[in-house]
Structure 1
Amino acid sequence: MSEGFPLYQLAEEHEELRAAVRSLAEKEIAPYAAEVDEDSRFPQEALTALNA
């Protein structure tokens, strides 16, 4: 985050949640994104990852 704008800085808990969601998306969802787009199908892998 930018040190010059503390008003716009997220709380530590929000930063941790953001990092956890990003990690989950990169590991469990992103690897299937191109295939899901190419096949025009529902991203079941994403739903499974988010419900785990």
Structure 2
Amino acid sequence: MTHPGLYALTEEHEAIRAAVREIAEREIAPYAAEVDAESRYPVEAQKALTA
């Protein structure tokens, strides 16, 4: 039996998730198709996520 609240995210985790999503949408999504088409490592994504 599972407990409904057992896997709920804390407010802090939700804030982190939202921040990462915003970065991904702003910094990664615009060139994701290009990176896939070229079959290359997304250096731009790494830079955006480690800045």
Quote the offset at 1:8 in angstroms: 2.6
Partner of 2:27: 28
Quote the offset at 1:32 in angstroms: 1.0
Gaps of 5+ in 1: none
Does residue 49 of the first structure (1) align with residue 26 of the second (2)? no
Gaps of 5+ in 2: none
Quote the offset at 1:43 in angstroms: 0.5
Quote the offset at 1:25 in angstroms: 0.6
CA-atom RMSD, angstroms?
Answer: 1.0
Q: Could you state the TM-score of these two structures normalised by the residue count of structure 1?
A: 0.81
Kindly report structure 1 stretches of 4+ aligned residues shifted beyond 4 Å. none
Letter in 2 for 1:20: A
The number of residue pairs the alignment matches comes to: 48
Whose relative contact order is higher, 1 or 2, with alpha carbons under 8 Å and at least 6 apart?
2
